[in-house]
Amino acid sequence: MRLLLLGGPRFLGRAVTEAALAAGHEVTFFNRGQTHPELYPEVERLAGDRAGELDALRGRSWDAVVDTCGYLPEVVRASASALADSGTYCFVSSISVYRDFTKVNDEESPVAELGDLPADEVTDESYGPLKALCEGAARNVFGGRALVVRPGLIVGPYDPTGRFTYWPHRIARGGEVLAPAPPESQTQVIDVRDLGAWIVDLCSRGVDGTYNATHPGVSWRVLLDTCREVASSEAEITWVSPEFLVEQEVGEWMELPLWLVDPSLEYADRVDVSRAIDAGLTFRPLAETVRGTLDEAEPTDAAGLAPVREATLLEAWHGRG
């Protein structure tokens, strides 16, 4: 298979490239050449900018195109139109497209609408609706050859976001660790290597349609116990109530990564992934994801409780009442 990757080999693009090359496929990059230009010297590189400089794509076609970096519908429409003679167009979307997270979403659930939000600016509010419009742009050009993949939180080696990454590294540091109760609550993530390999497999088989792509879910207890085991850590987990965290104005998702308490997001970590599993999506053991994160992903200041903030919260938790 001849595969074109729109975007650089940074995170998901890197996993797609690794899987494609390992399977013997021929890979071409189209990007600005700014992301890890030293990697994959055997890969053909086409220079351009999908926001307007598409000349390198014109007159060429591939068996499959994987679009990992489409956020604005007009940009996706332009890229897809330039590649209309290619085979499968895989657009990597997001579960954020769904309109309502007070229930379990499957691929037939209604998607969010942009409304009065600008169509040329990505914000926290517009991200999901814009991704939904991008899906439509890809389908309008490729029709039955469009493949839409809606991942949950992508994690693992080379993760630049620091969200999931916070937890394995925090547990590895040891000491008392603040964690959101209840420990039986669920979180959903997808290892980037599982996602990348599955995308390549779908493209090689010419599969179309729309798929949620994340793990069925694990409990917070299992997640943090696995982090302890993999890191050989004696960290002590202190489960703190959501009411206390809200009272202390702890930020969801980023300050305390993966934690969601907003009632409107109750089922954001329970999307239905049965269609993807039926289409061949498989999952490595969580321990492998944790190990890959510890070895190949660094925590960032943008995600996670600062040590002083965590210590202050724990002191207040123990001293309450």
Quick check: helix, strand or coil at residue 211?
strand
pLDDT in tens, 35-60: 888 999 999 999 999 888 999 999 99
The average confidence (pLDDT) of the chain is: 96
pLDDT-derived band at 274, boundaries 50, 70, 90: very high
Residues 27, 38, 48, 77, CA torsion sign: positive
pLDDT in tens, 110-123: 999 999 999 889 99
CA–CA gap between residue 320 and residue 183 (Å, rounded)? 20
Per-residue pLDDT at 8 = 87
CATH topology of domain 166-188+217-270+285-318: UDP-galactose 4-epimerase; domain 1 (3.90.25)
Per-residue pLDDT at 36 = 87
Mean pLDDT of 284-294: 98
Per-residue pLDDT at 51 = 83
Quick check: helix, strand or coil at residue 253?
strand
Burial class (CB in 10 A: 0-12, 13-18, 19+), 192: buried
- For residue 108 the two structure tokens come to 């037939």
Q: What is the CATH number of domain 2-155+190-213?
A: 3.40.50.720
278-309 burial: b if 16+ Cβ within 10 Å, else e: eeebebeebebbbbbbbeebebeeebbbeeee
Give domain limits for the chain: 2-155+190-213, 166-188+217-270+285-318
Q: Is the pLDDT of residue 219 over 90?
A: yes
CA–CA gap between residue 49 and residue 264 (Å, rounded)? 37
pLDDT in tens, 57-105: 999 999 999 999 999 999 999 999 999 999 999 999 999 999 999 999 9
Between helix 73-82 and helix 127-142 the angle, nearest 10°, is 20
Per-residue pLDDT at 34 = 83
CA–CA gap between residue 264 and residue 245 (Å, rounded)? 17
Q: Is the pLDDT of residue 16 over 90?
A: yes
Residue located via tokens 């090359």: 21
Q: Is the pLDDT of residue 183 over 80?
A: yes
Mean pLDDT of 261-289: 97
